[in-house]
């Protein structure tokens, strides 16, 4: 399979890293120093936009949404009917891509940042003309950098709110816990070891245990103990309601950006 990467930023590179050993990869990247760096790490051939699209079976749109009109203007005149278009451009619907490129087969994907370390999760949705085989193919690319969930496109905005933006919520939690740990008297190195290792160990427990997050939390929480004293504060501040409001806000913003 020949894949054309239109854009090789952080996420584009993450996907390239996952697929370059199994597929012939081509890329459009104007910066010479960036090309040189990527060639040292991956099996990839660089070329002009129209050239890499012409030779490809799959075109991966990995540029910023505001850059897509220029990409579309250059490639819409090329023979695209037999190619699969896979887009990770946030907020850009399959319908808008289909209209811009003349009724092509489109699969839309919302990956997240941990794909850069092979631990991502991606939501995948098919466009009107895409086939089940197209979805399986696109899924294989993103399975190479983590896990995938196939959803209807109407759910992509919710995927964005939960997992697309989700790493930022985790990082914010860690940021706050680090600050609180330092106020308790730990230095930066000590706080990092305590907080990061707690997060990593807890994540591994979630992944390996048959228990739910709630059940695991209750196992740690002794009645009247230190953990309950802390979680009572979270509950008094309505942490559940805060998360519900935050995810709804993210979903609403995603819907606005897609219009």
Q: What is the pLDDT of residues 33-60, one digit of tens each?
A: 999 999 999 999 999 999 999 999 999 9
> How far is 259 from 244, CA to CA, in rounded Å?
23
> How far is 177 from 161, CA to CA, in rounded Å?
22
Q: What is the pLDDT of residues 117-161, one digit of tens each?
A: 999 999 999 999 999 999 999 999 999 999 999 999 999 999 999
> How far is 125 from 155, CA to CA, in rounded Å?
8
258 Cβ neighbours under 8 A, 6+ residues apart: 91, 92, 93, 157
Token duo for residue 178: 């680090």
Q: What is the pLDDT of residues 63-88, one digit of tens each?
A: 999 999 999 999 999 999 999 999 99
What pLDDT, on a 0 to 100 scale, did the predictor assign at position 257? 81
Statement: the pTM of the whole predicted model exceeds 0.85: yes
* Residue ranges of domains in the chain, CATH in brackets: 2-156 (3.40.50.720), 166-257 (1.10.3730.10)
Percent of the chain residues topping a pLDDT of 70: 100
Please state the separation of Cα 121 from the chain's center in Å. Answer: 6
Helix (H) or strand (E) run with residue 110 in it: strand 105-110
Q: Report phi then psi at 89, rounded to 5.
A: -70, 115
Region 1-18 average pLDDT: 95
What pLDDT, on a 0 to 100 scale, did the predictor assign at position 258? 76
């Amino acid at each position: 399979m020949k894949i054309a990467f239109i854009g090789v930023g952080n996420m584009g590179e993450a996907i390239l890293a996952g697929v370059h050993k199994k597929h012939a990869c081509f890329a459009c990247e104007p910066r010479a120093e960036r090309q040189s760096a990527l060639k040292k790490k991956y099996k990839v051939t660089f070329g002009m936009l129209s050239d890499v699209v012409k030779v490809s079976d799959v075109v991966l749109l990995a540029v910023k949404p505001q850059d897509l009109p220029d990409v579309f203007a250059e490639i819409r005149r090329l023979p695209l009917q037999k190619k699969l278009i896979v887009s990770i451009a946030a907020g850009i619907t399959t319908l808008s891509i289909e209209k811009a490129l003349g009724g092509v087969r489109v699969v839309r994907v919302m990956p997240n940042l941990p794909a850069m370390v092979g631990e991502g999760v991606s939501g995948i949705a098919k466009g009107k003309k895409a086939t089940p085989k197209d979805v399986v193919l696109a899924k294989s690319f993103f399975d190479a950098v983590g896990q995938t969930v196939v959803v209807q496109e109407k759910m992509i905005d919710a995927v964005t709110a939960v997992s697309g933006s989700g790493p930022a919520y985790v990082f914010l939690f860690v940021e706050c816990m680090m600050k609180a740990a330092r106020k308790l008297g730990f230095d930066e190195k000590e706080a990092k070891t305590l907080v990061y290792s707690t997060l990593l160990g807890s994540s591994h427990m979630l992944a390996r245990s048959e228990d739910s997050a709630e059940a695991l939390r209750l196992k740690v929480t002794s009645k009247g103990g230190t953990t309950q004293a802390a979680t009572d504060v979270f509950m008094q501040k309505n942490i559940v309601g805060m998360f519900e409001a935050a995810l709804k806000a993210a979903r609403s913003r995603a819907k606005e950006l897609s219009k």
